[in-house]
Amino acid sequence: MTPRPPFPPFDEDTARQKVQAAEEAWNTRDPERVSLAYTEDSVWRNRDQHVVGRADIVRFLTAKWERELDYALRKELWGFRVNRIAVRFQYESRNADGQWFRSYGNELWEFSDEGLMRRREASINDAPIAESDRRIFGPRPESEHGVLLPVF
């Protein structure tokens, strides 16, 4: 396993770095690249699905981004403690029929000493939106790092 700094225990700066790195990786929509931030035996709960290990993560993300077209994500640090981080996020995507959605959620992350995520629990709700109501367009520019997400 290749270590992924920053390493726990987290302080506010390193927790924010971890959140921004995750946002940037997920916005690549590259399942292989994203999976490298997780331990080989990482355990996820994502909505009502359970995913275990990097191979499952790659399969899960491949299917996700085949369904959720033009996916663009924003994450925000909500809290942290030693080797755990809480995140709030929003992303927008459209389905094959062209309907846009804004998905709201919270994640709980737990990290190994090597800085790899070994546990991820995500609760997510989807709201259909009109294309004209979109506000997330591709990866976040650096000038917007740390900008808080609107509640709705």
With CA atoms as reference, report the closest residue to 107 among 125, 81, 89: 89
pLDDT at 8 over 80: yes
> Hey, what are 80's tokens?
């942290």
Q: How far, in Å, CA of 149 to CA of 47, rounded?
A: 21
The pTM for the full model equals: 0.95
Q: Is the pLDDT of residue 129 over 90?
A: yes
pLDDT at 152: 79
Residue 110: is it exposed, middle or buried by C-beta count within 10 angstroms (0-12/13-18/19+)? middle
Residue 151 in this model has a pLDDT that exceeds 90: no
- Structure confidence by residue, pLDDT tens digits, 29-75: 999 999 999 999 999 999 999 999 999 999 999 999 999 999 999 99
Average pLDDT over residues 129-142: 95
Whether residue 21 is predicted with pLDDT greater than 80 in this model: the reply is yes
Read off the pLDDT of residues 77-126 as tens digits, 9 standing for 90 and up. Answer: 999 999 999 999 999 999 999 999 999 999 999 999 999 999 999 999 99
pLDDT of 145 higher than 80: yes
* pLDDT for the residue numbered 74: 98
Q: Which of 70, 75, 57, 68 is nearest to 17 (CA)?
A: 75
